[in-house]
Structure 1
Amino acid sequence: MVTVVDAPRRTLPSIAAVCRTRAGVELKEFFRQRESVVFTLMFPVILLLVFGAVLDYDLGSGVSFTQYFMAGVIAAGILGASLQNMAIGIATERSDGTLKGLAGTPMPKSAYFVGKVVQVFVVTVALVAILLVIGVAFYGIDLPSGTDWLTFAWVAALGSAASTLLGIAVSSLARNGRSASATVTPVALVLQFISGVFFQFSQVPTWLQTVASIFPLKWMAQGLRSVFLPDALAASEPAGSWELGRVALVLGIWCVVGLALCVRTFTWQDRGNR
């Protein structure tokens, strides 16, 4: 008589474990790509160093341009780490077949997006920390204090969330990573110029201020200015105040719009291959 011994059943990893693994993969892939690291992390740093050295003048109330620019360059850095990074990276993975391959594995599709969100979070925190250290060390930037740090946190978090969702949605408009870069980067640069990143927002023509107000970058930069600048400079804002309530509302709306666009437009393979 032969006794048959059942083979031990293999336990599938939990969703949490899969998400952790995917997040680790996303971080390793990002930091191994020199181009992505240089563009996402170093480009804002170079902007801060160059503009801080060249445009060193007083805006009034004892505030230097570099103090004003700090809010803008952080907002622009968050946009680059989220919207630009997601749009280009996902479009590239779609065109080279990576997304199609992942979709055919047992991995929960949600783990892919969790990995992307963790990547954006880690890169954003690293970028903000580097910019703050350089700002303090080279230009004597005054850091936020007290509850301003809370404002800093929620503005950066909401802005990053909105930009990440928009980046995922925009990735579906491009056929490959190269076309995504050519499409997204010029738009991002234009938004930076009209959103009060490179110079005071009050110096932007009124009609361009209106255009900038449609997009999240302007509101993210405005919210961050409220924690780096004295209240006296709020008078130079279009509404004469920081409008933090409206900042939260607009960024929250963009999160909802971005999520809806992701659900509607995201695909796991090129449109031509479906």
Structure 2
Amino acid sequence: MTTLHLPSPVTIGVARGLTELKLFFRSKEQAIFTFAFPAGILAVLGSVFSQTYTDTGVESSHVLTASMVGAGIIATSFVNLSISVAVDREDGTLLRLRGTPMPAVSYFLGKIILVLVASLAEAVLVIGVGVLMFGMPLPTDPAKWLTFAWVFVLAVVSCSLIGIFTASLAKSSQSAAAVSNLPYVGLQFISGVYMNPITWLPAGMVTVASFFPIKWAAQGFRSVFLPDSMTKYEMAGSWELGKTSLVLGAWCVAGLVLCLMTFRWSNKSR
């Protein structure tokens, strides 16, 4: 008797990720607006609010560019997945996938692969705007790019899992947009994405923001693209890369646990 060996959850997840990418890029409007939004916001705000930190020579547009790389990842992962997973559940996609050998973890992996590729393309576009429009210098130290890589991966994974979890809180795809956009917009302001430097914000607001990934992702990317002389404008007076890795890593674990506890294949699932 022949034994049927099913692919591993990782193999299934990668296959699902390729399918997600095809679906995403076939929807040209979704792809264009996903990429254009952070870059467009950067182009406008960087042009309107332009100043130089006289003691460091750094332009405010450079600070905004670094922070917007993090904000763009959060939008692609947290906001988009909150809505897309709710849509998959509502239109029966998840119910059909449940009838296949695909475990929930493989579905999560497929979504994360989509976000990894989309976020990388979006980051390149945002950085391109910063370099071409505002003359932001790119780091030449390989260690800076290594920091970019691990902050990028941890931000994508943690916020993707939080987005999938948030979709479980929404009763419909329409409500998912409200459930995700409200905290996303609010956290951008209190996490120092738009307010430069972050030390201008009340300490209480920054303390609240410190419990969530967007503050640490933006700060991590500032450590990559800004000189160390800019640490004086951070709340702790340093980049806190160790704490950044701990917070983002903790959210990766917590997000996976929350997803496994709350994920449902249909709106009727208990």
Alignment partner, residue 50 of structure 2:
56
Larger radius of gyration: 1
Q: Which residue of 2 aligns with 1:208?
A: 205
| Distance (whole Å) between structure 2 residues aligned to residue 12 and residue 178 of structure 1 | 40
Q: What is the one-letter code of the residue matched to 1:120?
A: V
Structure 2: where are the runs of 5+ without partners?
A: none
User: 1: CA distance between counterparts of 2:246 and 2:266?
Assistant: 34
Give the match for residue 240 of structure 1: 237
Q: Which amino acid aligns with 1:231?
A: D
* Per-residue CA distance 1:15-49 (angstroms, 9 max, x = gap): 46644432221012112234532442110010111
Q: Deviation per CA, 1:83-120, whole angstroms, max 9, x where unpaired?
A: 11111100111111110111012344443222211101
Report the secondary structure of 2:193's partner residue.
Answer: coil
Structure 1 residues 189 and 35, CA gap change in structure 2 (3 angstroms): farther
Q: Which moved more, 1:52-61 or 1:26-35?
A: 26-35
Q: Distance in 2 between matches of 1:18 and 1:71?
A: 35
Q: One-letter code of the match for 1:187?
A: P
Work out the percentage of aligned pairs sharing the same amino acid: 43
- Equivalence for 2:30: 36
Candidates 182, 187, 211, aligned match of 1:186: 182
In the TM superposition, what is the alpha-carbon distance from 1:139 to its structure 2 partner? 1.3
Letter of the 1:136 counterpart: V
Q: Partner amino acid for 1:163?
A: C
Equivalent-residue separation in structure 2 for 1:108 and 1:37 (angstroms)? 27
After superposition, give the CA deviation of every residue in 1:140-178 in whole Å (9 maximum; x if it has no partner).
Answer: 111122111111111111111110111111110001221
Match of 1:6 in 2: none
SS at match of 1:145: coil
- Asked if the contact 1:195/1:217 (under 8 Å) is kept, the reply is yes
3-state SS in 2 of match to 1:40: helix
The structure 1 residue matched to 2:266, chosen from 227, 249, 269, is: 269
- Looking at structure 2, the residues matched to 118 and 144 of structure 1 have their Cα atoms a distance apart, in angstroms, of 26
DSSP 3-state at the match of 1:149: helix
Q: CA deviation at 1:123?
A: 0.3
Residue of structure 1 equivalent to 2:151:
155
Which of the numbers 126, 132, 147 marks the counterpart of 1:131?
A: 126
Is the 2:112–2:156 contact (alpha carbons within 8 Å) kept by the matching residues of 1?
Answer: no
CA gap of 1:244–1:21, structure 2 versus 1, over 3 A, is closer
Matching residue within 191, 195, 203 for 2:191: 195
Counterparts of residues 76-225 of structure 1 (less than 5 Å) = 76-146=71-141, 147-200=143-196, 201-225=198-222
Instruction: Give deviations 1:241-268, integer Å, cap 9, x for gaps.
Output: 1111111111111111111111111111
Indicate the SS of the match to 1:100: helix
| Cα deviation digits, residues 212-241 of structure 1 (max 9, x gap) | 111111111111111111111101211111
- What's the counterpart of residue 256 of structure 2? 259
Residue pair 1:136, 1:142 contacting (<8 A) in 2 also: yes
Q: Specify whether residues 106 and 252 from structure 1 end up closer, same or farther in structure 2 by C-alpha distance, changes over 3 A only.
A: closer
- Higher mean alpha-carbon deviation, 130-139 vs 66-75, is at 130-139
- Given residue 50 of structure 1, which amino acid in structure 2 is its aligned partner? V
**Which ranges of structure 1 fall in alignment gaps of 5 or more residues?**
1-8
The answer (yes or no) to whether the contact 1:163–1:216 under 8 Å persists in 2 is: yes
Instruction: Count how many residue pairs are aligned between Structure 1 and Structure 2.
Output: 265
The letter for the 1-side match of 2:40 is I
Aligned residue for 1:46, secondary structure, equals helix
1:51 shift after superposition: 1.1
The structure-2 alpha-carbon separation of the partners of 1:10 and 1:259, relative to structure 1 and needing over 3 Å to count, comes to closer
Aligned 8 A contact 1:95 1:175 in 2: no
What is the one-letter code of the residue matched to 1:217?
I
- After superposition, the Cα gap between the structure-2 partners of 1:62 and 1:172, relative to the gap in structure 1 and judged at 3 Å, is same
Q: Is the Cα–Cα contact under 8 Å of residues 165 and 262 in structure 1 kept in the other structure? A: yes
CA RMSD of aligned residues (A): 1.9
